[in-house]
Structure 1
């Protein structure tokens, strides 16, 4: 360290001081870190946060307490050390060990104040002892610690996107939530064994299904259908494979923002559009693999508006929209987001109804819509139609949609018109809609001894937010707008996962750079890695912009020749230029 030591100028330290002082972390944590009794700590919490911030920038996103000690005690100017109230230590082995002990104790005190787990790390707890600790823990205290940890991650992530904060605040393109596996430093133990791992909050990540360890908990009702049920229902069966444990660690739930409004992210000269920022992470939390996807997804996006980010479209994989509506679908709509979903093969087609209207793949339609249009996506998966036919049938659904008559009220209720009343189709039950031209489809209502359903008797119906909440989405499933929004958001979060997992950069999936056990410790170290990945993306993007007529600093990445958005289907792209 002494040979490679480069002293930091005061100008390099000032931005870190401003970001720490601009957050609410110091007053929030100081009462738990600096106790009123006993020996006073020789380092302030504010100073440690500044040191962690500087260490992250110097080491490429890695938080190493030895490097933090070197930065704070031996790489700052004497005037800056005086300003930050850092005591002097001799620049030798004894001095460094003494300073390192101060940093380590303060870091662990900060970590303990934000640890939402009642289980202590670094020891093999028996299952009986772990259960006793869980039963005797104070839920209010654990919730308070969880809130402090969430505020800490928000501070680190907001600081990383600071140069683009104003641009991101105006962005209403969308957010994607996803969980990606990351290893922990501890070694996994047998799931049904007598003892837990030294990182008791971690679990086994399974590559297939919902990623939960099948030995730890039974499969949920909304999990992928079993082979037997798939066979009985006629669903195409996959080749059976053995469930193999993939890694021992956590699911990192990320909230990634992306501008979906622009069809051309590159300008005519091949450089990026300055108004289209890169995909960046704004939220993060850790949990056991496959556990509580709805809870963790909401935790990452629930405070985005309070932090200045406007809500827009929201996309996630099937683990989120297969949750209970009260846990995911209704809360995200209450936050102002417009969900965009994909569905399992056994959830396609008619998904239920109310007042006579039917919900087909997330959109309300006329009950007399032809069955071939209702089953279009299911027929595509079963191989009964080709992709070109599926695209035509998806487009043919549009006239049968229920049209909004009024905007949603404050409680989420909305008046929806029958498509015949909206002038989109012709229906014998609505004589005024007849004779409007052959370009409008003619509806053939099925006769019923009880008479027409409510949506056919009235000009409009009122839809409550709970009706069809599990599968409802803001866009028409499968059309070009849905493809543009859903695939861009999903590709953005998957692309960021690969960007941050690169072994040549942050390597977030590896545990070698986070050699501390425990949920809070892993979260603190991981969020600094994610923040560094944000900064790296912003730097690459800024260097590739052509501003004021000058050529960019670095060449824009060559874009591969890809298929147009309109040629994509749920099972691949169209082969012809139809």
Structure 2
């Protein structure tokens, strides 16, 4: 009998209708997830090998033993252990399924094959009575309990109520009674968790790739907002006391006493121009989101290449409360962890929030002591003359002769003000290199370097009235220091053969390459673009969706970092698989044709033909009679 008669739906007689259709959903009774595909033994074994290889299980066992203080565990043995719940989390993250307790329970209940269940030590078969919501709820409780048992070992804020709203006085009381040692221990353990799993993904790379990376590890580091599971936010806090402000310091108006679920969060400024503000006013403000700040260190190329030499994966991660006061400590911690894991410190690329803003004591000095070189950009206020030593003038991270012309010293200032064109700017930068101080010797064991005037020695680059040209100097043409630029009271850089520069001299603005040089432009552009690309990659809503709180509803700081780490692990694995696939494809095609076919991906037409409308600074406002500027490299992303 046809189901359609003259365009109208025909109603079947119940007696004649088969009962098969109405029983299609019988197997779904009691389930809480719409996902019915099963993970087989290979899926589970692969995830288990990764978890076992991270060494995280041994560390969790050690922490649990420390928490028990030598006593034996009491009560009924848990149905599943840390290993099983971590395997389930990794399976869900790799499948791009929301990391909910209901989804974890669904995997344990109905989404494992018989062989996979036996491998994990779960009942091989579910009896007929195991169908229905009651059994699904039992597995949900099993997953929920296992996750929270593991989380409790790393929770820096175990005193925070996550299932009832708190007012301002209750939150202040919790903060006042907190044990700083418990907070520090929890943060340290969470970071250990993140680092061990990310390091595990690094070891998934072939040995030749790992060795190439470790020759000179180049890291791009940046913070990204990690939105909390609950959007309820409180008033901003005092940076010194950590207690909530009662009055808006700008407007003088009182902040309302808001009810909050996740108090261990803060207001993250989406708008970079409002970074120094502690949060929004009384009205809703789209420039801020309620959550935490995630510091992600990403492997970036250390030179321009036609095809990727390694995948750009996250190598370090930590989470903190938003605020510039936490940026330096989190950056130092992440970089120290990378070095402690055996990676050779090379170069760290960062935007203006870091080395151009923060104090040398909190960031620059410890980073240099670890062996990391810096590549960064400067703020407008960081351009031009910024102090010096012994008569030498410091400009954008380099020290120059005391007789350097002012138009060369202020080249970047004039370019930023659009009073010179690009061609003039580049010429001035090139001329300025001749006035740069040169090292007389390599740094000693303490990091001290004797620096000498550019007019000294057989390789002098300028001629100065205060210096006699070295007898072995070549006859090449040199720039002369004008009489009007010679200092009236010469300092030691003009009178001595060399001046000792310590490791902290000029460190506030020092960086690896000359600012705005071709080397700097390549390194900074590649590093920043790669870093930003990874952040967008892990936030892709079609995959990890790390920026979507609805995909991870378990509340709390510790739960947030655990799940964010699993999402980064998933993103790293995706990156590695893509890299290995591309490499294998290149190899197979090369073997087939007997020639190297070059990169699989073409350079974007926007970059190939220079048709992008965006430029970092150029074209400048062209002055009357000024020559046309040369075409620049592709634009910077800052």
The change in CA–CA distance for 1:510 and 1:11 in structure 2 (over 3 A counts) is closer
Indicate conservation of the 8 Å contact 1:298/1:328, yes or no: yes
Indicate conservation of the 8 Å contact 1:61/1:533, yes or no: no
Pick from 105, 109, 112 the counterpart of residue 152 of structure 2. Answer: 112
Shift of 1:217: 10
Give the 5 Å matches for 1:236-275: 244-261=286-303, 263-265=304-306, 272-273=307-308
Indicate conservation of the 8 Å contact 1:415/1:462, yes or no: yes
State the structure with bigger RCO (CA 8 A, min sep 6), 1 or 2: 1
Pick from 545, 551, 572 the counterpart of residue 618 of structure 2. Answer: 572
Give the 5 Å matches for 1:493-504: 493-504=531-542
Partner of 1:222: none
- The 3-state SS of whatever aligns with 1:16 is helix
Partner of 1:369: 404
Partner of 1:426: 463
Partner of 1:268: none
Comparing 543-552 and 311-320, the one that deviates more: 543-552
Shift of 1:215: 5.0
Give the 5 Å matches for 1:210-289: 211-212=274-275, 214-216=277-279, 244-261=286-303, 263-265=304-306, 272-273=307-308, 276-289=309-322
TM-score by length of 2: 0.78
Give the 5 Å matches for 1:502-541: 502-541=540-579
Partners of 2:273 and 2:122 in 1: CA distance: 49
Give the 5 Å matches for 1:406-421: 406-421=441-456
Partner of 1:127: 168
Partners of 1:577 and 1:71 in 2: CA distance: 56
Indicate conservation of the 8 Å contact 1:318/1:343, yes or no: yes
Comparing 119-128 and 385-394, the one that deviates more: 119-128
Partner of 2:16: none
Partner of 1:478: 516
Indicate conservation of the 8 Å contact 1:205/1:246, yes or no: yes
The change in CA–CA distance for 1:33 and 1:74 in structure 2 (over 3 A counts) is farther
Find the structure with the greater CA-based Rg: 2
Indicate conservation of the 8 Å contact 1:349/1:374, yes or no: yes
The change in CA–CA distance for 1:108 and 1:165 in structure 2 (over 3 A counts) is farther
Partner of 1:229: none
Give the 5 Å matches for 1:341-380: 341-380=376-415
Give the 5 Å matches for 1:82-481: 82-87=118-123, 90=127, 91-93=130-132, 94-117=134-157, 119-164=160-205, 166=207, 167-171=209-213, 172=216, 174-191=218-235, 192-195=255-258, 197-209=260-272, 211-212=274-275, 214-216=277-279, 244-261=286-303, 263-265=304-306, 272-273=307-308, 276-291=309-324, 292-321=326-355, 322-421=357-456, 422-433=459-470, 436-437=474-475, 439-444=477-482, 446=485, 451-481=489-519
Shift of 1:82: 4.4
Shift of 1:101: 0.6
Indicate conservation of the 8 Å contact 1:257/1:279, yes or no: yes
Comparing 201-210 and 519-528, the one that deviates more: 201-210
Partners of 1:141 and 1:440 in 2: CA distance: 64
Is residue 26 of structure 1 aligned with residue 81 of structure 2?
no
Q: What root-mean-square deviation, in Å, do the aligned CA atoms of Structure 1 and Structure 2 show?
A: 3.1
Indicate conservation of the 8 Å contact 1:150/1:285, yes or no: yes
CA offsets, 1:256-280, max 9 Å, x none? 111222x332xxxxxx35xx12322
The change in CA–CA distance for 1:516 and 1:350 in structure 2 (over 3 A counts) is same
Indicate conservation of the 8 Å contact 2:328/2:358, yes or no: yes
Partners of 1:443 and 1:9 in 2: CA distance: 76
Indicate conservation of the 8 Å contact 2:217/2:344, yes or no: no
- The 3-state SS of whatever aligns with 2:222 is strand
- The 3-state SS of whatever aligns with 1:343 is coil
- The 3-state SS of whatever aligns with 1:312 is strand
**Unpaired segments of 5 or more residues in structure 1?**
219-241, 266-271
Partners of 2:210 and 2:98 in 1: CA distance: 26
Matched pairs, number: 542
Shift of 1:360: 0.4
Indicate conservation of the 8 Å contact 1:184/1:248, yes or no: yes
CA offsets, 1:189-231, max 9 Å, x none? 352332452111222233334654735499xxxxxxxxxxxxx
The change in CA–CA distance for 1:561 and 1:215 in structure 2 (over 3 A counts) is closer
- The 3-state SS of whatever aligns with 1:408 is coil
CA offsets, 1:496-519, max 9 Å, x none? 122222222222222111112211
Shift of 1:362: 0.9
